[in-house]
Amino acid sequence: MKRFEDKIAVYKKLNALSRKGSAVCFGARFFSSMNIEELALDYPVGVPVYNRSFEKLDITSAASVAESCLYELQPSKIFINIGENDVQSVHFDEKSFASKYEWLLLTIHRNCINSRLFIVSVVSDSPAAIQLNRRLEALAKEVGCTYVDINVPQNDGNIFLRAFNILKSYIRNFPPSFADAMGFQAV
């Protein structure tokens, strides 16, 4: 938890200025590297989107970090993208990870009662990540969350834009604009 203290302090200050009932992306390396707020400005989704992600976040630290910077926002939608750091560990145990992930979901649900939870796939081509994504998809069905597969080719120069375009339909409140309904994408 100590390794996240500086960023948590920044997020707490931002939370004081942020709107409750927004959409929040909470995750590890992929979400941390993605300029979600900027993409939401360039490709409007009709709701404020905040990024509360940490480069080195793993499932073991996720619940305490969420408590520190996520709950006070009381978002309407939470997109959770955790696992890429875990799956790279030589000690990775999928069963233990899934158990901790389920606990994380329960903890978030108890503290953000009116939030809809989205489990976002781990972005990786590794066999362990592919198997983990299957497990996360099954977990989403078991606990009533929505699974969002954002895996796009890793060598794609627009990986973040493509992932955001997938997330966009889940982030926005309905009804969608005419351009979005027709599948228009300005590139």
Tens of pLDDT, residues 144-182: 999 999 987 666 678 898 899 899 989 987 666 566 566
- CA 59 → CA 64, 98, 129, distances in Å? 10, 9, 14
* Helical residues (DSSP H) of the chain, grouped into ranges: 5-17, 29-33, 36-42, 59-69, 84-87, 94-111, 127-143, 159-171, 178-181
Question: What integer pLDDT is reported at residue 25 of this predicted model?
Answer: 97
The rounded distance, in Å, linking the Cα atoms of 179 and 186 is: 10
Question: What integer pLDDT is reported at residue 175 of this predicted model?
Answer: 62
Question: What integer pLDDT is reported at residue 51 of this predicted model?
Answer: 96
Q: At what angle do helices 94-111 and 127-143 cross, to 10 degrees?
A: 40
What's the half-sphere exposure (Cβ side, CA atoms, 13 Å) at 29? 11
Tens of pLDDT, residues 7-17: 999 999 999 99
Amino acid identity, position 164: F
Tens of pLDDT, residues 96-124: 999 999 999 999 999 999 999 999 999 98
Q: Which CATH class is domain 2-181?
A: alpha beta
Query: Residues 29, 81, 104, 47: what is their CA dihedral angle, to the nearest 10 degrees?
Result: 120
Q: Is the pTM of this model over 0.75?
A: yes
